[in-house]
Structure 1
């Protein structure tokens, strides 16, 4: 007799994402503290390293040596290296032991001359490391003396010249969000294809216990940190609408779980745990075992670690169900269920490539330490079949009739125009380009059609910075001018057609920058639907080390006449809001016309309706039709750097550099034939309505001339006496509240031998808020916005524009 299963029986619940973010915040604090002390010890060690072929080679050797010692500290302090490393045993002894544990964890360094390291320098570093507790569990919490394997990746990415390589330490909540919203949708999509009743199971679970799958922050009944009453009402309205949708089984496709920010991992586990048909579990387990997950620029393995932690409970749920009937599955006697799961994941699911051998080594080490953590006591796990490789993911053949790498290298070198009969030139080309032939390295995957899930954080490096080292053949990287575009294009080429899910953390320029138009065209042509979550850097940013506006790009591979696009607004947050930032993500489906091929950033359907009114109003025309070539005495000056406010005035702002009065840099002029037109447009540019337009189509900071020119201007605005009067009053108030700011720049490469003393007028539009709201009231009446739409415009980003005070 088959017993009814309920969700309550599901073991191994996920921790809440708020708790996960709290733990990550604590671990980040510990990591920063350790790194500050580590830097001092590292410099002491580096000063003792001598005899290398060059200072650069000595630096590289020291970094790699230090990171290897961190790895060995984890092994030693958890009983995997006996006897003690400091008790006189040679490096050969350690290397032999590691070779038995798992080959490839400590590859020989390619050095022209081996540097010398005094024993006393190593002893000092050992003394420093012995002050800490080295725990194998990535999720462990503890004091500032407790370190987890994540610290190896943290140290590596901090010491790998971030600006030069374009690599940054990626927080676990980010890697988890991107990985779970690609891996789990892929799993459920494939399960539904092979077991059509899956969607019925999903809809039943969502209907019966909807709050189980809605993010806790969304359904929270009180004010969240820094949340305003208006934000609270909008959040509660979203919650009620989502609750109704789940209770009425309005979720009809799996990808809607991404759009509505459901807890898809919990949902997938519950499907496995509660289904009445064991055939469903068998199918799900087979899909898991065959799933291939690639990070084409894996670095120290942050995304692959996230993928591992997502797959673990899914495997576990399947095995617990299958072991209810022992004849359905058998595990090796030597392995616990957790060890078996981890071996399956490491050998079947995870694939990574990186140009830096050090990164590949660390990635393997972190994954290996995860496996060791599952053993109840130290023993030899035996060799693993790694799918983590060193090479240039952008240089090499995807498909080939044969898999001899030497033959492929020669063929590719000839495609680059190199005469391969000169051995010295050929070896130099191989060294600089590091060709990686997917057909040879992963033949089974490529014969199957490509990878199922592709995730990662590609380097944000201008192509011009690497062109001297290696070049790319024709593609998006060369045309767009940045390597991240080339990585996304390669990811599309490596995807299984109509099947794969992709998830990458990329610069916000993917949404609107004109030079990335080719990339956006490729994405529309080769994905059936895609999601963009967009993040500002003010008042806070995702990466503390990088002033880089970013987007989460998620996509489902496929072709569609009109691919579906889902977007967020440009998100801002205070530090107190960071724990809930990703929980509160919600997407709006795009239906408004694209402006210059850019992806709009929308906060809600209401946001889109307001823009539609502007764009579809018959009495509007592009603002540039009101301009004259100029110059004339009727002008507007506005600053390209916009951020929270568009600062437009009817005079040239005060600016003095090294005592010389001059026109401010990074400004633009608009010229008009009539004075009234200049005043009307000046009022418009300072309005919240124009800020909404700017925030929708810009990168959140730079106001392009094109964006100003394309604003849909209502013809009647140029003849409205009330708007003219308000504009003149606004000019007076802006000047009245302006203050002179002095800035002294430091000596640097740009300013050569001396710094600059700059005085400039800073305008404070927030002081003119009542007047600006009256301007927006006039605009709302002109564009026929109702009271709710006007309230939305006035309230958009108000908390950040006005400041918490």
Structure 2
């Protein structure tokens, strides 16, 4: 019934009937001069108007509702069907329109309509937010992503099970991406002029006996789309364009799986459950069910499952962040020494009024730009750069859409390069760039459609970080560049391949590989000779003897260099041997883009490189990175947390690849601003390059970011900094920080100079907490789900406890102690709701035996307890890092919080065991412990932690030992005594007047009022 009403809708009265069936109340009152309130639900209005263009009418009505501050949605109705749009919350704009037309499958139409029903919402406000969410681009992006991922998994599972999973996924993805690309091509009318060509092809094949993949798709992909029109058997396929190889060339993984076809049943689901549910368009669309190229980045970068994302560190970069980083980076690259002046570069980027002379100079500068994304992912930054450079080029030399299309192709060929280790990422980046070319192609007839460019020389699969020639260059044994003739041949072959078509693609690919091979052999031979000579000099020095006949001992730096040279020589010899196979089996900038390096390097290295924690990197790779990169070094502390993130190596590699005066623009994990492992990187950046800007991405900006930490946008020029240079901290130039301040030891404090002075005044106002008491992470059980539980019913000397893994168990109370988790700690209060199995003597030594019930419990779970990562023998009930449970005068605080939250444990529950979601410090006496709790709960500690601690998502900070250790404590005993008395009363009342607390701490630390005012501006809300 609902579907019948929808299909028959032509008037606003039909809209009323439709929404009444969805659960709204009938209305019928006028709205403005031509529209009508067709239905309503509480204060939520359904405003409808008949129009020949229902989609635009719906969006106009939605904007009208938003401008009036009313909750509702707009409905356009007419011969083209029904369209629905809503105001976009917080803006004057409308959502995309949900369009119901004859092409929308019945099941899809019904599901989309029912999603607008008010049954599950509580109020008009709640319902308006729900409707806006249903109609948002994020909603269709999420639906399409889920459908795409589900379909991809089914196709991979349909391939022979004896084929490796990675190969099956790659083969399935290629078939799916070809179909996705053709849906966009079909939207341009390029497939026989039929907007439903692909579905019609499926239906015709099924009606004539089936076998869709073998009989229809294979001939289309590999016998038509990649065959020039003049080479086809006329008239077969003459209404289908020639799109060249690349996407329509069998991938090596497909060639290994010969005669493997997906069954018809699966292809029917591909159409009905995925592609036919959406409207495809090559430009940004205004239909809510539209899939446009601008949303594919979000879809593609989410295709990796969670485990792979953690291993590879690849995360989606929201489009607005890409746009802002690209804009600032290009402005800096255009204004590098010898190019444009800074104000001229800004004029060009803003596309303002330019003189003829500036247009000419700017055009020449843009033409010379060479831009690299060293970890291209799905191509977001290259695509952003392509769009920006296209807009600049069109402004410098205005022209028609034909000029825009040709300019875009030339920029792709000459200006952009991308590398990624993941072959899937390489294909996804290529697809997005091909779509950008297709979108601007003005051709309307099949013979006029230009073939897609070959991107083999633009987007390459390879390891940006580790290659033998790069290592040789980094260790200063790389000789002068090879002959200009060899370099020129590689560059020319790469250029010719870009526009090649038909049989010449294979020939030119072979030419390029041959020239790369010749250059590779020459470079490897030179590097090997140079490395051998340097190694011989060092070994000779190591074997020489002094005047007393004792063998000379090389200094540590030379010993390190000796080991590095030996590793380099081995890598060079292995690489040389691998060239005997007739190809270059590794990626090397020196071999694959020698012309760029010969000219000095890239003008701009930009991107969002992988963020990979050290424990996710294989031990062998960690060793190679440590040997290869000077800045990729662990801190002096032990454990994975002190090993560098992979992003540190990418920064160093980017600085190697960029030309002198060129620009590096990277999104990095914000921890590089504070983590111990990044101290050498911070020192190098602060003293060796000119940092243009350091911008912490805000909560709102990072909402679409997939990582669990905030990104930090670094933009720097490869030139030494001027002594008075100031770093911009936000997109406005008002927030400036003198770069020399960043050269100080410790974390970067990324606040303007005046605010930094206030922070330094605070830090110097007392003794650092770490000088008085060493903070420790709380006790680690290794298996909280078993050893930590909820206390239920005490009964004499026993207690019933419920744990996640152990279930319900009765244990002796003598081996149970209150367990404090981070969430249990509030200012001056602890509310422990768990107990922990604690079988330790007062001396801190584990008990040798357990009482009967506890012993039976441990025996029952012996396998789990013995398998704990930190367990190294001894009683099975052994815990780890037990010092925080054994010491006295303990202050405890949450490990992750918006602001420090602390309490004195011994004042509240002396036997409590703080777990490892807390930090603990043991003070020399109770008075100092109480005073420290007062300082930690003050707004001044919150201000300090806000700017110095590692960030976590949602505005939280990691209140670890390093960060809290810098909080100042009053030096005088009188100030300590005064704060201790205030804290004692606060613990007794479990609360305190915050204004009184802040005033007392400020007085104890001697903070002047102007300093207090600047610090208060940094303090997050007390939540």
Whether TM exceeds 0.5 here: the answer is yes
Structure 2 counterparts to residues 349-498 of structure 1, below 5 A: 349-378=415-444, 379-382=448-451, 384=453, 386=455, 387-396=458-467, 397-398=469-470, 401-402=481-482, 404-405=516-517, 406-407=520-521, 415=567, 426=578, 435-467=586-618, 471-472=624-625, 473-475=627-629, 476-477=631-632, 480-497=643-660
Distance 2:973 2:898 in 1: 24
Distance 1:469 1:101 in 2: 43
Structure 2 counterparts to residues 238-637 of structure 1, below 5 A: 264=346, 267-269=347-349, 273-275=352-354, 277-320=355-398, 336-378=402-444, 379-382=448-451, 384=453, 386=455, 387-396=458-467, 397-398=469-470, 401-402=481-482, 404-405=516-517, 406-407=520-521, 415=567, 426=578, 435-467=586-618, 471-472=624-625, 473-475=627-629, 476-477=631-632, 480-497=643-660, 499-535=661-697, 541-543=702-704, 545-560=706-721, 562=723, 564=725, 566=727, 568=729, 586=735, 588-589=737-738, 596-602=745-751, 604-615=752-763, 620-627=766-773, 635-637=889-891
Alignment correspondent of 1:645: 899
1:625 positional shift: 3.8
Alignment correspondent of 1:749: none
Alignment correspondent of 2:998: 776
Residue segments in structure 2 that go unaligned for 5+ positions in a row = 1-89, 97-131, 205-214, 228-241, 474-478, 488-515, 529-565, 635-642, 776-882, 952-956
1:653 positional shift: 9.7
The answer to whether the 8 Å contact 1:339/1:371 transfers is yes
Provide closer, same or farther for how the CA distance between residues 628 and 600 of structure 1 changes in structure 2, counting only shifts above 3 A.
closer
The answer to whether the 8 Å contact 2:375/2:419 transfers is yes
- Identify which range, 26-35 or 38-47, moves more after superposition: 38-47
Alignment correspondent of 2:935: 684
1:301 positional shift: 0.4
Does 2:309 align with 1:162?
Answer: yes
Alignment correspondent of 2:331: 184
2:892 counterpart SS class: strand
CA RMSD of aligned residues (A): 4.0
The answer to whether the 8 Å contact 2:316/2:705 transfers is no
Structure 2 counterparts to residues 667-746 of structure 1, below 5 A: 667-700=918-951, 701-716=957-972, 719-734=975-990
Distance 2:692 2:430 in 1: 31
Alignment correspondent of 2:269: 124
The Cα offsets for residues 212-268 of structure 1, whole Å up to 9 and x where unpaired, read as xxxxxxxxxxxxxxxxxxxxxxxxxxxxxxxxxxxxxxxxxx8xxxxxxxxx5xx43
Provide closer, same or farther for how the CA distance between residues 359 and 733 of structure 1 changes in structure 2, counting only shifts above 3 A.
same
The Cα offsets for residues 7-26 of structure 1, whole Å up to 9 and x where unpaired, read as xxxxxxxxxx9899988994
Distance 2:143 2:580 in 1: 41
1:30 positional shift: 2.0
Distance 2:416 2:460 in 1: 11
1:645 positional shift: 2.5
Distance 1:594 1:698 in 2: 18
- Identify which range, 62-71 or 400-409, moves more after superposition: 400-409
Distance 1:545 1:585 in 2: 30
Provide closer, same or farther for how the CA distance between residues 415 and 636 of structure 1 changes in structure 2, counting only shifts above 3 A.
closer
Provide closer, same or farther for how the CA distance between residues 64 and 797 of structure 1 changes in structure 2, counting only shifts above 3 A.
farther
1:461 counterpart SS class: coil
The answer to whether the 8 Å contact 1:601/1:695 transfers is no
The answer to whether the 8 Å contact 2:420/2:460 transfers is yes
The Cα offsets for residues 243-301 of structure 1, whole Å up to 9 and x where unpaired, read as xxxxxxxxxxx8xxxxxxxxx5xx4355x6423x4111100011111111110101110
1:409 positional shift: 9.3
The Cα offsets for residues 179-204 of structure 1, whole Å up to 9 and x where unpaired, read as 111002322446xx4566x74xx6xx
1:554 positional shift: 1.4
1:416 positional shift: 5.3
The Cα offsets for residues 413-460 of structure 1, whole Å up to 9 and x where unpaired, read as 9955658999999599999x9631112211221111011111101111
The answer to whether the 8 Å contact 1:636/1:671 transfers is yes
Distance 1:429 1:536 in 2: 50
2:696 counterpart SS class: strand
Alignment correspondent of 2:4: none
The Cα offsets for residues 721-744 of structure 1, whole Å up to 9 and x where unpaired, read as 54222211222343xxxxxxxxxx
The answer to whether the 8 Å contact 1:527/1:559 transfers is yes
The answer to whether the 8 Å contact 1:342/1:371 transfers is yes
Provide closer, same or farther for how the CA distance between residues 592 and 691 of structure 1 changes in structure 2, counting only shifts above 3 A.
farther
The Cα offsets for residues 318-337 of structure 1, whole Å up to 9 and x where unpaired, read as 103xx8xxxxxxx9xxx722
The Cα offsets for residues 599-658 of structure 1, whole Å up to 9 and x where unpaired, read as 1132x44422311323455xx4433444499999762322351321312211169999xx
The answer to whether the 8 Å contact 1:293/1:350 transfers is yes
Does 2:79 align with 1:79?
Answer: no
Alignment correspondent of 2:808: none
1:72 counterpart SS class: helix
Provide closer, same or farther for how the CA distance between residues 665 and 655 of structure 1 changes in structure 2, counting only shifts above 3 A.
farther
1:532 counterpart SS class: strand
2:417 counterpart SS class: strand
Distance 1:544 1:653 in 2: 42
Alignment correspondent of 2:811: none
Alignment correspondent of 1:244: none
Q: 1:31 aligns with which of 130, 137, 141?
A: 141
Distance 1:622 1:150 in 2: 50
Structure 2 counterparts to residues 657-676 of structure 1, below 5 A: 662-676=913-927
Does 2:155 align with 1:45?
Answer: yes
Q: Deviation above 6 Å: which 4+ runs of structure 1?
A: 17-25, 408-414, 419-425, 427-431, 582-585, 628-633, 653-656
TM-score (structure 1 length as normaliser): 0.71
Distance 1:429 1:680 in 2: 72
The answer to whether the 8 Å contact 1:355/1:434 transfers is no
Provide closer, same or farther for how the CA distance between residues 416 and 177 of structure 1 changes in structure 2, counting only shifts above 3 A.
same
1:454 counterpart SS class: strand
Alignment correspondent of 1:94: 221
The answer to whether the 8 Å contact 2:225/2:248 transfers is no
Distance 1:663 1:789 in 2: 35
1:37 positional shift: 3.3
1:67 positional shift: 2.5
Does 2:220 align with 1:57?
Answer: no
Distance 1:143 1:696 in 2: 43
2:190 counterpart SS class: coil
1:97 positional shift: 2.3
1:504 counterpart SS class: strand
The answer to whether the 8 Å contact 1:529/1:563 transfers is no
The Cα offsets for residues 32-87 of structure 1, whole Å up to 9 and x where unpaired, read as 12223334444443443335523343233223332332122212332334484536
The answer to whether the 8 Å contact 1:654/1:664 transfers is no
The Cα offsets for residues 671-708 of structure 1, whole Å up to 9 and x where unpaired, read as 33343222222211111101111122111322232333
Total equivalences in the alignment:
647
Distance 1:797 1:723 in 2: 21
